Each structure stands twice: as structure tokens, then as C-alpha cells.
Chain A
Amino acid sequence: MTTTTNTPASTSGRPYHGVGDRVRLWWDAQARPTQWLIGVPFIVFIAFLPVLRIPVLTTVGTDFGSVMAQFGMIALVAIGLNVVVGQAGLLDLGYVGFYAIGAYTVALLTSPDSPWNLTDQWLSQDWAWLFCVPIAIAITAISGLILGSPTLRLRGDYLAIVTLGFGEIVRLLADNLTTITGGGQGLKRVAYPRLGESTEHPDGVFSAGNSAPPWNSGLWWFWVSIVLIVIVLLVVGNLERSRVGRAWVAIREDEDAAEIMGVPTFKFKLWAFVIGAGIGGLSGALYAGQVQFVVPTNFNVVNSMFFLCAVVLGGQGNKLGVILGAFVIVYLPNFFLGRTDLFGISIDGNTIASYKYLFFGLALIILMIFRPQGLLPARQKLLAYSRQLYQAARRAVLAGEGRTTPVPADGTVDGRGPAATKDGGER
């Protein structure tokens, strides 16, 4: 068999079937500017979901804006954990530890309850949070380095157990170092960005006191997290399509073969750990700012499992997949809360919500049986400049399908042609 540019794909085995595949194929075939043109309005639409208050979607029992803010933070966590688990294949069961370190860094530096509070000295209360975010990222990244250096020589199950221990150590430290962390009392009045202060919002829009929906603090924090998610996605995406990302996937696939092919495996595993930790720390800092109150019970090992669920459920190794996973994890339990009926069927939302872990477990089991690769499975693009190749390969399918079956939408053949985007711009 030589090149098959003129062989219709549908004659040789299974062609691109299914709705998801169609969407992927269509999206991949779009020119870069077109993708931005579609992507940006979509992100804006998601950002305004809490304002639009779409009836079936909006949560009843709790504020939808806050749910989305929580989703934003967990999405960040999932992206960070995905670097470690999905990309490099290192099972980390103590990821909540990094989340906690990020949150406690901000809290310790800005809460009046903390002995290391800087806001009453030289750091202005207004900008304290923003100032502490990079510090939180740096400190968590360093803690990742400290945890990783000895433990990344271990593999598989052993690494999982060590990281599990790490998560617990962080929580127990926060719980028991009462003179510093306030123990079980936690740290209150953590700094947050003082922006948009007015008579209506005396403490600014980011204050937890701004609770009247829809323009409440939850919405504002959701927007902050969207901006951060986009930035982190760009960073992680650049890494993925480089020597670093390829090294991670090679390590995940076959660590010995990777080492023999000249990949410094330990170095790149450590980088994955440090980068993942940094992103977790960023999310923790966001959490501390939003809730403005940090207690050890928020950093249970169960949270680590939830983070891992978001990654596995969404699709390990796929950045968009894990964001979807984070959404499912955060949104579903809140969805049922307080509902009295669903599509006309009467239910008791509070009762259902109290069984949320049961449903959650069932959903996970079913998903793992029927779709073990997750909701949006990964197929990495690990090369920065190979688009031409993929396009050249894809052209054959598109052309083949165009001849044999009616193409859905104008997308596949016409829409992918840059003639439309470049010259005409409209069709």
C-alpha cells in the first residue's frame, strides 16, 4: 500500500463516525483565525452563563455564580493535575496538598490572624492578594520540587502512596500548628482584590459580602478564573507541543525506552511535578481569595480523589476533557440541591443531594465500563509545526467522504477551505 490520497476513506475500514468525531474533524479543519472567531464568543458565552440564568441549567439550591466560581478553581486544579497524571503518567494522590499550600500561603501573608501577616506593615490591603499569587505559585512549586526530588525515583503504586501521605501531612500541619495557622479555627479575613468599590459594594465586587445574584462575587471570581485558565492553557499547550511534552508522554508510555532514547526522565518527571504543583498553588490562592477564610477541613484527602476523578472522568491527557470533568464534578451535586421537580417529575433535591456520592460513584463505575478513556479522550498533538502533515492526511478523508456521503453542514469541505476564511470570509 502506498499513499491513499485518492482512496475514499469509507472503503477501508471504519471512517470517522459519531457526532464527537464529526465535531473534532470539523474543528481541526478550521483555519486558526476561524477557531479563535468561534472560540472567543464561546468562552464569553460560558462567562455570562450565571447572568443569563438559563432555567434548566441554573442551580436552584445554591447561587449559580458561586458554583461556576468553584468550577473555575477545580478546572485549574484539573489542568495542573492533568500535567502530572495525564501527561507524565505519575499517579499523584496528594494533589490537594499543593492546593492547600497555595491557599495557606495567601492566608498566612494577608490574614490579620496570622503571625506573618504583611498587610498591616508595608503591603497595601488593596493589592495584597494579587501580590501574593506569584508568591503562592513559587512556594507550591518549590514544595513540589522538595516532594518530587526523593519520591520520583519511585514508580507507580509506591509514588501514589508517598503522595497520599504528603497530602495528609500538609493538612495535619495546618491543623496542628495552631500558633501559626490557627489550627481548626482557620485563618479569617484573607485579602482579596479591592476593586469596584461603591456605595452599593462598600468592600468591592470581589468581597464575599457581595452576594446578591447575578452580579455577585462568585461571578467576578469566575471571570478571574477564566482568564487564568486561558493563560494556563496556553502555557501548558506550549509545553505539550515541545520536547518537554513529548518527553512526558514518552515516560508515560514506556519509561525505560524513553530513558534509552536519551530522555532525561527524572528531570522531566520533576518538571511535571513542579509545574503541576504551581498550577495547584495558583488555584489554592484563588480559593483563599474567594472564600476569604481558610480551614484545614477543606483540604481533606477526599478532595484529592475528587480532583483525580475530574481528570479521569474528563479524559486523561486532554486539557479540554479535564475541564469538562471538573465541571461535571462541581456542577452535578449542586444541580440537584434544592430542586423540587425535574422536567415535571417531582423529586426532593435535598434528599438526592445527600446521596450525591452514591450517584457519583455509580456514574464513575458506568463511565469506566463503557468509556474508560474518559468523556473527551486524549489524542495529543506533540509537534509544534506539523499542521501541514495532519492537514495533508486529513484532506484525503474529507475528499473521500465528500464523494461518498452527503457532508453534514457546509463545514467539512467548504468550511475548511481557507479560501472561505481568507478571501471571502463569508459563505
Chain B
Amino acid sequence: MSDPNSPESLRAGAESEEQFLSPDDEIMSSEDVREQDLPDGEVEEIDVDLATVRPELADAATVAEIVAADRTVHAEVGEPLLRMEGVTVKFGGLTALDDVSFDIRRGEILGLIGPNGAGKTTAFNAMTGVYRPSSGRVVFDDRPLVRVKRNEITRLGIARTFQNIRLFSDMTALENVVVGTDARHRTSVPGAIFRSARHRREERDAIDRGMALLEFVGIGARATHQARNLPYGDQRRLEIARALATEPKLLCLDEPAAGFNPAEKEQLQELVRKIRDDGFTVLLIEHDMRLVMGVTDRIVVLEFGRKIAEGLPAEIRENPAVIAAYLGVPDDATA
């Protein structure tokens, strides 16, 4: 054989490997005896060349189609998806949410804003089952969320990202997303041990959908990077991809632009719109008024645990109560 390091043989090796790998992917029974990668912290992360692995993902429309939410959403745009009905949340003597009611409508981007401590995150946690309201109720998709476990809420169709990023940092980007897709999977222990037909089908679907999701949020090439080694912006994107992987009807983004520069915020706006256009309903909790005004369809404003305004971005911008809440009220006005 010629010099193994020559560019020719490199290319030849790469090509024949490709042919060989596809059938070999079927039989993975002895992976156990394989040694693993590099230790933490000494990892040189390498990008995947998507053109060779998943050429079909080069087309944005195909990606959007794979990622897309349930198509029936289109028929019901504007109908309420989630209703907050007089929700009150108390922590001891502190009332964090006081009789808050609003709707999230199918196919919209709803902005939830308010000054620090207004109860945005509390409202969010009440929706996703982290806190139980002391009175009032949350109705999602015509089903009251009472005594529903947190993992079941995800399966009902509410997914969220975290204000302070909470990825599974030892896992690769793709694995993080696949954990999200697992929310829809039903393989259990015996199926996994004996590699049942369902397990194999679900694994393949998970990787296909996972790769499409990563490409959708714009980090497809970094699929094999460990989450902890991703740049900050990509970690935020990965969180969104992981949440979308659970096939939610409602995607809740908790301050997704925190720590972003203006250019990144611009890209995030585009991504959020792209998600909405793909059939998802989005709840956006955000500090940054420019971002909120630029991307949302409707806005709900909280202050001190109460809803003080609700309406279109243009209306909210002019609303005196909102301006007062954000800028404070001049002394002479109160006098």
C-alpha cells in the first residue's frame, strides 16, 4: 500500500469508510467492549461535516418539516392553548402571584414582561408544575393542570428552557436533544436490553430528529461536542433545541437573551419567529424591551405579582401604567 499519510489514501479511506459504516451501524452489539473518548477537560471538540453525514439537512425547508409541531395547530390559531384562571401563588406570607389571569393563544408569541421581582418566573413555574397555585388554576389544552407530575406536564406539551442554563453538561449536544425526544418514547428496560424493534426505530428517529433540531437552531455541526464545551450562545440554542425535542405545543423561554450582545439578540429574534412559524406557540419571558417589542405578538405585563396590562406591543408601549412600572412615577404626578 502507498504512503498511508498521502492525501489520496486519506480520501480513499474516508470514502470506503462511509460505505462500510452504513450497514455496520445496524450491528452495535459489542459497543461495550469499546474504550471511550477523551477525559473531561482535555477534549478537543471537532465539528461534524453535516454535508457528508446528513446531506438532506442542507435544505432549510426539510429541517423545518422534520422539526415542525403538530400541523393541526394551524386550524386552531388564535384559540386559547393555556389559560391562567385567577392564579395565586404564596410563599409563606409573600404573595408572589396575585389573582393573575391571561390566555396564551395557539400560534402566537406571547411576551411576559415586568420589572425584577414582578412574578414572571413564578407564573412560569406555576404553569410548568414547579409550584402549585394556592388558588386559581391553570388549564392547558382543555385540561386543568392539577396534581400532574412535572414529567407528565412535559408530555402533555409544555416545554421550557432555563434562565440559568441547565444542560446535561457531560453529554454531547446531540445526546441532550435526544433526552428531549425520549419524552415521547416508550422503550423501557426490557426493550432496551433485548433491542426490541420499537427501541431500534425510536433510536433512529431520535437521531434523525435530533440532528434536524440542532440544524434548526443553527448548531448542527457541533452535534458531537460536549455541552459544557459549547460557547455560551450555543448552549442557549441547545436548550431551545432540547425543549423543542419534547414535541411541545407550548414552548416557554425564560430570559433566553440573558447575556447576549445585540447581534446575538437579533439572531435570537429570528430563531423565535422561525419557531412560531413552524407551528409552535411561544411564551417569552424577557427583560430586554427591544427584543420583546420586536418579536412578540401580544404582551402581558406583571408588576408586584399582578397583571397591570395586556395587549399588542404598540399598545403596551404607550400604556401609562407600564411606563410608570418601568420608569417609576414622577413625584409631582403622585402628589
Which residues of A are in contact with B by a Cβ distance under 8 Å?
A: 1-5, 9, 12-18, 21, 23-24, 27-28, 31-32, 35-36, 39, 233-247, 249-250, 253-254, 256-265, 271, 275, 318-320, 373, 376-397, 399, 402-403, 406-407, 410, 413-414, 416-419, 422-423, 427
Contacts and interface: CB of A to CB of B under 8 A. Distances in A.
Contacts of B52: 392
A417 B2 CA distance: 13
Contact of A385 (B1, B28, B48, B169): B28
Given A243-B185, A413-B5, A396 B49 contact: yes
B332 interface: no
Contacts of A264: 149, 151
Contact of B42 (A17, A249, A318, A385): A17
Interface string B30-53: 111111111110111011111111
Contact of A3 (B7, B13, B49): B49
A416 B246 contact: no
B195 interface: yes
A395 B224 CA distance: 13
Given A2-B221, A414-B1, 6 more contacts: A5-B49, A27-B35, A238-B29, A263-B179, A388-B25, A393-B48
B171 A253 contact: yes
A383 B175 contact: yes
Nearest to A43: B33
Contacts of B162: 257
In which size bucket is the chain B interface? 35 or more
Interface stretch (B69-77, B90-98, B196-204): B196-204
A243 B151 contact: no
A407 B48 CA distance: 22
B44 A9 contact: yes
A250 B188 contact: no
A379 to B, nearest CB: 4
Nearest to B5: A402
B285 to A, nearest CB: 15
Interface in B150-199: 150-151, 154-155, 159-160, 162, 166-172, 174-175, 178-180, 182-185, 187-189, 191-195, 199
A383 B185 CA distance: 14
B56 to A, nearest CB: 13
Interface stretch (B14-22, B260-268, B270-278, B302-310): B14-22
Contacts of A3: 47-51, 221
A236 to B, nearest CB: 7
Nearest to A317: B170
B38 A250 contact: no
B35 A320 contact: yes
Interface in B105-132: 128, 130
B292 interface: no
A384 to B, nearest CB: 4
Nearest to B248: A262
A12 B52 CA distance: 22
Contacts of B170: 249, 253, 379-380
A246 B175 contact: yes
Contacts of A397: 44, 46
A28 B12 contact: no
Contacts of B194: 238
B24 interface: yes
B161 to A, nearest CB: 10
B327 interface: no
A82 B280 CA distance: 40
11 contacts: A28-B37, A241-B203, A257-B166, A260-B130, A261-B154, A262-B183, A379-B38, A381-B34, A385-B28, A388-B22, A397-B44
Contacts of B40: 373, 377, 379
Contacts of B27: 32
A236 B168 contact: no
B207 interface: yes
Nearest to A371: B39
A385 B204 contact: yes
A198 B95 CA distance: 83
Contact of B207 (A9, A386, A414): A386
B25 A387 contact: yes
B183 to A, nearest CB: 3
Contact of B53 (A17, A236, A389): A389
A244 B194 CA distance: 13
A422 B16 contact: yes
A261 B180 contact: yes
Contacts of A381: 31, 34, 36
B298 interface: no
B31 A263 contact: no
Nearest to A38: B33
A393 B21 CA distance: 14
A307 B50 CA distance: 43
Contacts of B179: 246-247, 250, 258, 261, 263
Contacts of A13: 44
Nearest to B169: A253
B10 interface: yes
A16 B38 contact: yes
B16 A419 contact: yes
Contact of B48 (A262, A384, A392): A392
A389 B224 contact: yes
Interface in B49-64: 49-53
A243 B169 CA distance: 17
A259 B151 contact: yes
Given A389-B174, A419-B12, A24 B36 contact: yes
A85 B124 CA distance: 33
Contacts of A259: 150-151
Contacts of A393: 46-48, 223-224
A3 B49 CA distance: 6
A14 to B, nearest CB: 6
Contacts of A21: 38, 42
Contacts of B206: 383
Contacts of A254: 166-168
